[in-house]
C-alpha cells in the first residue's frame, strides 16, 4: 500500500471557522448523554455484556473515560481508534471519545491487516481500544505502525500485561465534557476508496447531531423504547441510532455480533421495540422465525439499510412482522441517513396499484432536514422529475470532507452539494430511485466493494494482464463479486490461486467468488475503456439489478 502523507498541515484536525461567535445552543456530542442523565438518571440505559447500567452510571463511566484520556496525555483533536466487536465499551467509546474533544476512528475488523495498518498510519492513531477477539490483530498493528504505541483492553477477559485496562480508565475521576463548536471534528470513518485506498470521512459534532435529530423525527425514538444494536458499530448502520436513542433516554440493548437465534431470543426477552438490520440479517432471522415460536410482538419498527431487500424477502418480512417496516438509504459522508421508505409505502407496495408496487423499488423520500437533488454531471444543474443524473445531497449532516485529501473533498462537495457518485432519478412525488453506482460499486451482503480496489489486487499477480470486476446475482447476498481476468501471453493461473493471492491484499468480502479467465484483451470502447456492460449483462439476464 502507498505510504500515507506526513505533512503537519495535512494532519491538523479541522477547527471551528475563524471568528465564529458564541453559540446560542449546544452543538456537541456530550449533549445527548447529559440530557438523558439529567432527565432519566435512574432509568436503564444499556444492557450489554451481562449487565445493565442506568443513565447516571453510564455518564459516570463516560466522563471517567474523558478524565483518563486527559491523564494519559491524549490531546484534544487526537485520534483514538477502536477495533472490537459490539459491547458496552464500544458504545461508551462513541459517547465519550468525541464528547471529550478527541476524534474516534472505528476500524472495520473485516478489513485485511494491511488495510487496517494503512488506516492507522493515515489517521495517526496512537491509542487503540480492542477486545479479546481482535487483540492479536491490534498487537500486529502496533508492531507495524510506528505511531501506535498504546493498546487499551476492553475485555471481557483479564487485561494482558502489554495493555491498559479499560475498566480502570472508566473508573478514573470523571471530568465533565467541555462545550465544543458544532464544526469540531468528532469522527473519521473510513470508507472504500475509488482510488484503491480507503478514504477517511470527517464527521463533525454537528453532522452527527443533525443525523440523530433527523432519525428522532423520522423513526420516532422515545424514552419508552428498547433499541437493539446488533449491526457492527464500526459501520454507520451500527451507530446511526446510538445518539438518537441516548438523546431520548431509551433503553439500548447491545449484542456483540449477529446470530439469528440470539437476536430472536433477545427481541423476545428484552421486549425490543426498535431495531435496524441489514437485509442478509433479515433473511436469516426470517428463516429462524419460520422454525421457532418467538414472541416479536413488541417490535414497532424494523428498519433496514445498506442494501436492497430482494422482493421475495420483502414480502416475507412484511407478512411476518406486524409492525412498521422502513428502508433507509444513505452513505458515510451523510452521517449516514438521507432518505427513508416508510411503512405505508411498504404495505401498499405488497398488493397495491402498479405505481405503488413499483415504489417498493425506491429508496423513499428525504428525511426532514436533508435536501436531495438529481443533477446533471455535465451542466451541474438540477434535472426535472424522472430524468437520470447524479444523486446530490445537502444538509447539516454532510461531512466536513475527506481526511488529508483536499482535492477529493473539494470535488465531492463542489457547489455546496455532496456528489454521491450514485445514479438515480426522483419521481413526481419525490421518491428517489437509485439506479446504479457511477463508480462501479458492488453491494454484497450489505458491504460496499469498489471494483477498482479488487482489480488493483488482481493485476498485481504476474499472470494477469487485465481485470474487470463487477457484481453478479447472488440469492443471499444480493450481489457476489465476480472477476473477468485476461492473462499475460503464455501465462497460466486458476481461480483458487487468484483467491489466495487476493486474500493477502484485501478484505475477504472483497475477494472474487468466481472468475472468467480469458485469453486476449478484454472488450473496450472507442476511448479504450473496458466495456463492463458487455461482460456483466449476460449474468443479469432475467434478474432485477436494483441498487438502493
Domain at 28-219+234-257, CATH class: alpha beta
Asked if residue 443 has a cis previous peptide bond (ω within 30° of 0), the answer is: no
What three-state secondary structure class fits 149? Answer: coil
3-state SS class at 62: helix
CA distances from 428 to 200, 355, 384, 546 (A): 36, 12, 9, 20
User: How far apart (Å, rounded) are the C-alpha atoms in residues 10 and 30?
Assistant: 27
pLDDT of residue 547: 37
Tell which CATH architecture fits domain 372-437.
Answer: Roll (2.30)
Report CA-CA distances (Å) from 415 to 55, 63, 123, 378, 525. Answer: 42, 39, 27, 14, 32
With cell 432509568, the residue in question is: 43
The one-digit pLDDT tens for each residue of the chain (548 residues) are 333 333 333 344 455 555 555 555 789 999 999 999 999 999 999 999 999 999 999 999 999 999 999 999 999 999 999 999 999 999 999 999 999 999 999 999 988 899 999 999 999 999 999 999 999 999 999 999 999 999 999 988 899 999 999 999 999 999 999 999 999 999 999 986 545 678 999 999 999 999 999 999 999 999 999 999 999 999 877 888 999 999 999 999 999 999 999 999 999 999 999 999 988 889 899 999 999 999 999 999 999 987 667 777 888 999 999 999 999 999 999 999 999 999 999 999 888 898 888 898 899 999 999 999 999 988 899 999 999 899 999 999 999 999 999 999 999 999 999 999 888 899 999 999 987 666 667 888 878 787 778 888 898 899 998 899 999 998 888 889 999 999 988 899 999 999 999 999 999 999 999 999 999 888 864 344 577 878 988 998 877 554 33
CA 182 to chain centre: 21
What pLDDT, on the 0 to 100 scale, is given for residue 240? Answer: 85
Angle (deg, nearest 10), helices 279-291 and 260-270:
80
- By DSSP bridging, strand 365-366 and strand 185-191 are unpaired
Direct distance between the N- and C-terminal alpha carbons of the chain, in angstroms, rounded to an integer: 31
Q: What is the 3-state secondary structure (H, E, C) of 412-472?
A: HCHHHCEEEEEEEEECCCCCEEEEEECCCEEEECCEEEEHHHHHHHHHCCCCEEEEEEEEE
pLDDT recorded at residue 24: 59
Task: Please report the pLDDT score of residue 2 as a whole number.
Answer: 38
pLDDT at residue number 1: 36
CATH class of this structure's domain 441-540: alpha beta
Cβ-in-10-Å burial (0-12, 13-18, 19+) of 396 comes to middle
C-alpha cell, 107: 476500524
**CA angle (52 as vertex; 49, 55 as ends), nearest 5:** 125
| Cis previous bond, 16, omega within 30 | no
C-alpha cell at 171: 473508573
Query: Does 372-437 match 28-219+234-257 at the fold level?
Result: no
Length of the chain: 548
R_g over Cα of the chain: 23
Q: Where are the domains of the chain?
A: 28-219+234-257, 372-437, 441-540
Q: How many CB atoms lie within 10 A of CB 388?
A: 13
Amino acid at each position: 500500500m502507498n505510504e500515507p502523507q506526513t505533512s503537519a498541515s495535512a494532519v491538523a484536525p479541522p477547527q471551528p471557522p475563524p471568528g465564529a461567535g458564541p453559540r446560542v445552543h449546544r452543538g456537541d456530542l456530550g449533549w445527548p448523554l447529559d440530557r438523558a442523565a439529567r432527565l432519566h438518571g435512574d432509568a436503564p440505559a444499556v444492557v450489554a455484556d451481562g449487565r445493565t447500567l442506568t443513565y447516571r452510571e453510564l455518564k459516570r463511566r463516560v466522563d471517567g473515560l474523558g478524565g483518563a484520556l486527559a491523564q494519559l496525555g491524549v490531546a484534544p483533536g487526537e485520534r483514538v481508534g477502536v477495533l472490537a466487536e459490539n459491547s458496552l465499551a464500544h458504545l461508551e467509546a462513541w459517547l465519550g471519545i468525541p464528547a471529550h474533544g478527541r476524534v474516534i476512528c472505528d476500524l472495520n475488523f473485516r478489513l485485511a491487516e494491511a488495510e487496517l495498518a494503512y488506516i492507522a498510519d493515515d489517521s495517526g492513531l496512537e491509542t487503540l481500544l480492542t477486545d479479546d477477539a481482535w487483540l492479536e490483530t491490534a498487537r500486529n498493528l502496533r508492531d507495524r505502525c510506528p505511531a501506535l504505541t498504546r493498546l487499551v483492553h476492553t475485555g471481557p477477559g483479564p487485561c494482558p500485561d502489554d495493555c491498559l485496562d479499560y475498566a480502570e480508565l472508566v473508573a478514573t475521576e470523571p471530568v465533565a465534557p467541555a462545550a465544543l463548536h458544532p464544526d469540531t471534528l468528532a469522527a473519521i470513518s473510513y470508507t472504500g476508496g475509488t482510488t484503491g485506498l480507503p478514504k477517511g470521512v470527517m464527521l463533525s459534532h454537528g453532522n452527527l447531531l443533525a443525523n440523530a435529530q433527523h432519525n428522532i423525527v423520522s423513526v420516532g425514538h422515545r424514552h419508552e423504547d428498547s433499541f437493539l444494536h446488533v449491526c457492527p458499530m464500526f459501520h454507520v448502520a451500527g451507530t446511526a441510532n446510538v445518539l438518537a436513542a441516548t438523546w431520548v433516554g431509551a433503553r439500548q440493548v447491545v449484542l456483540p455480533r449477529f446470530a439469528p437465534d440470539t437476536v430472536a431470543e433477545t427481541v423476545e426477552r428484552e421486549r425490543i421495540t426498535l431495531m435496524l438490520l441489514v437485509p442478509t440479517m433479515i433473511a436469516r432471522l426470517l428463516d429462524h422465525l419460520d422454525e421457532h415460536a418467538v414472541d416479536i410482538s413488541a417490535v414497532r419498527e424494523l428498519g433496514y439499510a445498506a442494501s436492497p431487500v430482494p422482493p421475495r424477502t420483502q414480502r416475507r418480512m412484511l407478512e411476518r412482522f406486524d409492525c412498521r417496516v422502513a428502508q433507509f438509504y444513505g452513505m458515510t459522508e451523510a452521517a449516514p441517513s438521507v432518505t427513508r421508505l416508510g411503512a405505508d409505502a411498504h404495505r401498499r407496495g405488497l398488493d397495491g396499484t402498479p405505481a405503488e408496487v413499483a415504489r417498493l423499488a425506491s429508496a423513499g423520500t428525504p428525511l426532514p432536514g436533508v435536501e436531495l437533488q438529481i443533477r446533471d454531471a455535465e451542466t451541474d444543474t438540477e434535472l426535472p422529475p424522472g430524468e437520470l443524473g447524479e444523486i446530490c445531497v445537502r444538509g447539516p449532516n454532510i461531512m466536513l470532507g475527506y481526511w488529508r485529501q483536499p482535492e477529493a473533498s473539494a470535488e465531492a462537495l463542489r457547489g455546496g452539494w455532496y456528489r454521491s457518485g450514485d445514479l438515480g432519478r426522483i419521481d413526481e412525488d419525490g421518491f428517489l430511485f437509485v439506479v446504479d453506482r457511477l463508480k462501479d460499486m458492488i453491494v454484497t451482503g450489505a458491504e460496499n466493494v469498489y471494483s477498482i480496489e479488487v482489480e488493483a489486487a488482481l493485476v498485481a499477480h504476474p499472470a494477469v494482464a487485465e481485470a474487470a470486476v463487477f457484481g453478479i446475482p447472488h440469492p443471499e447476498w444480493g450481489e457476489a463479486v465476480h472477476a473477468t481476468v485476461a492473462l499475460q501471453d503464455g501465462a497460466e493461473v486458476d481461480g483458487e490461486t487468484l483467491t489466495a493471492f487476493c486474500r493477502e491484499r484485501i478484505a475477504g468480502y472483497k475477494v472474487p467468488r468466481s472468475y472468467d479467465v480469458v485469453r486476449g484483451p478484454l472488450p473496450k470502447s472507442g476511448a479504450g475503456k473496458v466495456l463492463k456492460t458487455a461482460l456483466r449483462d449476460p449474468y443479469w439476464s432475467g434478474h432485477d439489478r436494483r441498487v438502493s
